[in-house]
Amino acid sequence: MTYETESAPLFDALAAAAEDQIVYDLPGIEARYDTLRRELPGVAVRFAMKACPVDEVLGRLALRGSGVDAASPDEVTQALRAGVPVERMHYGNTVKSDRNIADVFRLGIRDFATDSLEDVTALAEHAPGARVFCRLATTGEGALWGLSNKYGCSPADAVDVLTTARDNGLVPAGLSVHVGSQQMTADAWRGAFDRIADVLTALAERGMSLDHVNLGGGLPALGYRDKHGRPLDPPMDKIFAVIREGMERLREIEGHRLGFVVEPGRYLIADHGAIRAHVARLSARSQANGERQYWLYLSCGKFNGLYEMDQLQYRLVFPSHRGAESVPAVVAGPTCDSDDAYSHENGLVPVPKALASGDPVWVLSCGAYATSYMTQGFNGFRPLPYTWIDGGAHAS
């Protein structure tokens, strides 16, 4: 089945759009959520809302049974407004001020991520009696974005953190990991389960019993191309099999009665969001070697919808020029920032040679982080508005 067939309602909405905008396919997001629940039965889903802080998406996932992984008081407030029950939220950010802790505790949050003794001390003061889960560091190997430096602690530190939490009146509830965003290997999950197992065993020896393991994010989107234009093909069947096997292994460790949580972001959203953009200009300039280099400038780029273009080539559709003669071009956004472009190294994309300013362009699989990373108008280029489709109907 082709992407066009799978995404017919989304393509219809893009074709109907007269102005630049982001379009989210709510039924497509629901279908991906249902797939996740089938692959990981019994696992609670807490959507990483930073990937798509859109009320309509949050509300639809909440109706499906999802909660959210929130990282700030404003995210908690938005999720509540969108209809997410507070008992299905946790505060997944290990970086938080005293005021952040007090604010979200007042809003009803009772589950907090942590990775340091200093944070535990602050939680004990400003969120007394709260449940804490300690984030373990991972290598991030195999992911497009490793996320291995800012968050997480060693297994030995995790034991100390949860012991200190218990001694300060908090509830040592769980462990968490994040194997890196857009994780492309199953081995990363195996390594994470090894680390979790070691800590669970050490905690049991200290008489501590945990009730959950948070497997974090990292599940990959399916429709990306790498920065050289090659389709990424994550081994989803293998990844899910390794996760299921890992959960069974952890359940066998004595001293704990574990439930499991997962925090998908881009896996749910990326392939079910697209941008209707337009051509600003297709131009050619001579290079030092005398060859002509084509540049395709779009109306959107790194600062208004395509922030991750340094690691990805988003798929492009030119609806007015299907089957036309193409030329290799560097794809770039509209600003005068040189980083506002696809990776220059082997980053050429075939584009129709006859493109003219104003021609529509559809940017696919860009639903994740398209809204959340946009600036407030860098270089005067405004953030894109968004709309959504619901069962074939168009809403805005």
Domain 271-395 classified CATH 3.10.129.10?
A: no
**Every domain of the chain and the residues it spans:** 26-270, 271-395
Q: What is the pLDDT along the chain (396 residues), one digit of tens a residue?
A: 344 445 789 999 999 999 999 999 999 999 999 999 999 999 999 999 999 999 999 999 999 999 999 999 999 999 999 999 999 999 999 999 999 999 999 999 999 999 999 999 999 999 999 999 999 999 999 999 998 888 999 999 999 999 999 999 999 999 999 999 999 999 999 999 999 999 999 999 999 999 999 999 999 999 999 988 899 999 999 999 999 999 999 999 999 999 999 999 999 999 999 999 999 999 999 988 888 999 999 999 999 999 999 889 999 999 999 989 999 999 999 999 999 998 766 679 999 999 999 999 999 999 999 999 998 888 888 899 999 999 754 544
Beta-bridged to residue 67, according to DSSP, are 46
User: Where does 26-270 sit in CATH, by number?
Assistant: 3.20.20.10
Q: Which residue in the list 52, 134, 153, 336 is annotated as catalytic?
A: 336
* Contact status, residue 258 vs residue 250, Cβ threshold 8 Å: yes
User: Comparing 26-270 with 271-395, is the CATH topology the same?
Assistant: no
pLDDT on residue 48: 98
Question: In this predicted structure, what is the pLDDT of residue 1?
Answer: 34
pLDDT value at position 344? Answer: 67
The predicted model scores a pTM of 0.94
Q: What is the pLDDT of residue 396?
A: 44
Q: 336 catalytic, yes or no?
A: yes
